[in-house]
Amino acid sequence: MPNKEPTYDISELIAISRGNESFVKKMVDIFCDQTPVLLKNMLEAYDAGDLQKMGEIAHKLKPSIDNLKMNFMPYQLIASVTQKIREIEKRGTGDLGNSNLKEILYETEAVLTNVVSLLKKDYPANNAVQ
């Protein structure tokens, strides 16, 4: 049975940092602080019909998603969040493709919100207000 929970893997982040634990903690903190705001802004841009801004925000989220190797596969036919964020970014260039953009946005929001929650649980000391 496929995994129904969002997952992440910080091994890529550790590799990029060359094992610098302080850097990893800082990146997790930044992700947890900025992602909810970026998601809110991305959805607001979509609701306002500003697909270019929506795509620009997706572009900002993409590296973090890649570095945390996020995936969410409640069903094998549903694309991973790494694919979804690229689709949102692509749609921001005016390539509307099929009409399920709103669904992709809300699935992406749900996954990233859950990953932020997991990171805060798994790394509570990293998320203290500074």
pLDDT at 57: 96
pLDDT at 52: 93
Angle between helix 101-122 and 81-91 (nearest 10): 130
Please tell me the total count of domains within the chain.
1
pLDDT at 93: 83
pTM of the predicted model, to two decimals? 0.80
Domain annotation covers residue 129: no
pLDDT at 80: 81
Domain annotation covers residue 35: yes
Domain annotation covers residue 64: yes
Domain annotation covers residue 2: no
Domain annotation covers residue 106: yes
Q: DSSP letters of the chain?
A: ----S-B--THHHHHHTTT-HHHHHHHHHHHHHHHHHHHHHHHHHHHTT-HHHHHHHHHHHHHHHHHTT-B--SSTTSPPHHHHHHHHHHHTTT---SS-HHHHHHHHHHHHHHHHHHHHHHSGGGG---
Domain annotation covers residue 108: yes
The range of the structural domain enclosing residue 90 comes to: 11-123
Q: Using one digit for the tens of pLDDT, what is the confidence trace for 34-82?
A: 999 999 999 999 999 899 999 999 999 999 888 887 654 444 334 588 8
**Residue 26: both structure tokens together:** 């800082």
**Phi, psi angle pair for 129, to nearest 5°:** -65, 135
Q: Using one digit for the tens of pLDDT, what is the confidence trace for 72-117?
A: 444 433 458 888 899 899 888 876 666 688 999 999 999 899 889 9
Domain annotation covers residue 46: yes
Domain annotation covers residue 18: yes
Amino acid at 80: S
